[in-house]
Structure 1
Amino acid sequence: MSTAPDVALEARDIGLKFGTFVALEGVTVTFRRGGITGIVGPNGAGKSTLFNVLGGQLRADTGAVLLHGQDVSRSASHIRARHGLTRTFQISRELGALTVLENLLLAFPRQPGEGVLAALRGGASVRQAEDEAISRARALLERVGLWRLADSPANALSGGQKKLLELCRALMLEPRIVLLDEPAAGVNPVLVGELGDFIRTLCDEGLSFGIVEHNMDLIAALCDPIHVLAEGRLLTSGTFAEISSNARVTEAYLGGVA
């Protein structure tokens, strides 16, 4: 299988059932390389289920997932992460008893100190990896204004700060594409604006994003294209202006997307 060179990630004809319930049916969507792609739709449309298929948390019954042109449909989530795909979740999954910094250090990949023999022997390679991990974590936390809280327990953060921490944890893996599942949920408007600015900056630096979100202001500000799901199917795709004026989208939302 292959995909267009400007496509970072593709869900091709994805179908998934839970018993007799059809969660996804024939869904084909693409995520542009170096862009921010939105996935929207009413509750129960299948948005998070699609992200779970893309991320490897669920395996589709039919169809394929292509990551930078490579079929990863049967690859576990950690394998997809090695190939540059990572994600966040609707509910932040921080390890609350650990500090903010420790949460990020745990995400640093391929640490030689994780091996028993290497940890016992210590050595320059272990210390170098630890220094690199701390340096990367500090740089990310400084960018989102959380470095001052580096030694605080993660469960002491506000909801918005936890969202920023989860995004930073995903970025510790140095991904090429990040899937964000409702990053603005439970976040105050000021932090939503800061989060949007950070995502746009990362995109300008070459990172690709997919965003599931109910906050239409954030979707309008960041995303092009936008794919609309309804009842597990792709309803339409287009710019925000195009989908917001689409009668089928208005009907699916029972009153509009705004």
Structure 2
Amino acid sequence: MIPGSETMLEARDIRLSFGDFVALDGVSLSFRRGGVTGIVGPNGAGKSTLFNVLGGQVRPQGGAVIYAGQDVSHLPAHRRARRGLTRTFQISRELGALTVLENLMLAFPRQPGEAVLPIFFRKTAVRQAEEEAIEHARALLERVNLWRLADAPAKTLSGGQKKLLELCRALMLEPGFVLLDEPAAGVNPVLVGEIADFIRTLQGEGMSFGIVEHNMDMIAALCDPIHVLAEGRVLTSGTFAEISANAQVTDAYLGGVA
């Protein structure tokens, strides 16, 4: 728990092994409501694996995931997303042959047209839902300066634009909490700044975030607190200044996990 704050998402004693390899060894940490919490650590520390557990992509062998005061450990990813907990991935997962707009429309949660019968018997409702999805997608794409590319195949976007598209796709679900896995990876500095500004704006609107990232400038600009993972454990937690001055953190990055 974080003293003096309301916890929105919490990992409690998460344990996960792959054969003899211990990926997460009793990880306990929390993310505060309305905040941007950073997760950093050397390669192999368990950061993305932890996000897979929190997001519901992987089930741990022990521990619990608590979201908005409820144990969601038993829920798969899509049901956690319906409750407001969603994520992006380190490698963007756009559907390249579909347009930018179509990628977002697929994520819209209220679509009666997903079933066969409403297509024939609830045509008005299906059409209204499609129009609502388009308007929601347009609003998001305009906010990240991608509306001009709405009809372009998603595969034609730059790496940074694909990161923005992935974030917008998560936002189509109207989440309360978004897990961002390396949003700055492979992105040019200008777009990194735009992504950081967008996250900060969304935080100001009440959204909460957890970020795994190697870009320390982004972590320093956005995150408080920051949890440092090493060898599947929480090494330390604190502000950017505190973890930067911690000798254990330096040792972990320079000589710890490969």
Give the shorter-chain TM-score range. over 0.9
1:120-147 per-residue CA deviation (whole Å, 9 max, x = no partner) reads 2343211111111000000000000000
Preserved contact between residue 92 and residue 163 of structure 2 (Cα < 8 Å): yes
- CA RMSD, Structure 1 to Structure 2 (Å): 1.3
Report the equivalent of 1:234: 234
Secondary structure, counterpart of 1:254 in structure 2: helix
Matches of 1:13 and 1:210, distance apart in 2: 18
Aligned partner of 1:23: which letter?
A
What is the deviation of 1:5?
Answer: 7.3
Question: Where does residue 6 of structure 1 map in the other structure?
Answer: 6
3-state SS in 2 of match to 1:237: strand
Mapped to 1, the partners of 2:169 and 2:123 lie a distance apart of: 26
Residue 134 of structure 1 aligns to a residue in which SS? helix
Matches within 5 A, 1:107-118: 107-118=107-118
Q: Secondary structure at the match of 1:253?
A: helix
Provide the rounded CA distance (Å) in 2 between the counterparts of 1:168 and 1:118: 27
Structure 1 position 22, deviation (Å): 0.4
**Where does residue 48 of structure 2 map in the other structure?**
48
Q: Percent identity?
A: 78
Partner of 1:63: 63
1:125-179 Cα deviation digits (max 9, x unpaired): 1111111100000000000000000000000000000000000000000000000
Alignment map for 1:1-258 (pairs within 5 Å): 6-254=6-254
Q: Distance in 2 between matches of 1:90 and 1:136?
A: 25
> In the TM superposition, what is the alpha-carbon distance from 1:37 to its structure 2 partner?
0.3
SS in structure 2 opposite 1:117? helix
**1:86 Cα deviation after fit:** 0.4
**Distance in 1, Cα, partners of 2:98 & 2:221:** 34
After TM superposition, give the deviation of residue 255 of structure 1 in Å. Answer: 7.5
Deviations 1:98-130 (A, max 9, x none): 000000000000301111000123432111111
Partner-residue secondary structure (3-state), 1:197: helix
Aligned 8 A contact 2:5 2:32 in 1: no
Shift of 1:234: 0.4
Offset at residue 224 of structure 1 (A): 0.3
Counterpart of 2:254 in 1: which secondary structure?
coil
Report deviation, 1:241. Answer: 0.2
Q: Aligned to 2:50, what secondary structure does the other structure show?
A: helix
Which letter does structure 2 place at the counterpart of 1:138? R
- Note the C-alpha offset of 1:212: 0.1
Which secondary structure does the structure 1 equivalent of 2:211 belong to? strand
The aligned amino acid for 1:39 is I
- Supply the distance in 1 between the matched residues of 2:218 and 2:120 (Cα, whole angstroms): 48
Structure 2 counterpart of 1:28, one-letter code: S
- Asked if the contact 2:66–2:72 (Cα under 8 Å) also holds between the matched residues in 1, the reply is yes
CA–CA distance in 1 between the matches of 2:168 and 2:255? 36
Aligned partners of 2:6 and 2:32 also within 8 Å: yes
The worse-fitting range, judged by mean Cα deviation, of 121-130 and 188-197 is 121-130
> Aligned pair in 2 of structure 1 residues 140, 62: CA closer, same or farther (>3 Å)?
same
* Count of residues in Structure 1 that have an aligned counterpart in Structure 2: 253
Give the distance between the partners of 1:254 and 1:99, measured in 2 at CA: 43
Of 177-186 and 112-121, deviating more is 112-121
- TM-score computed with the length of structure 2 as normaliser: 0.96
- Amino acid corresponding to residue 235 of structure 1 in structure 2: L
Query: SS in structure 1 opposite 2:108?
Result: coil
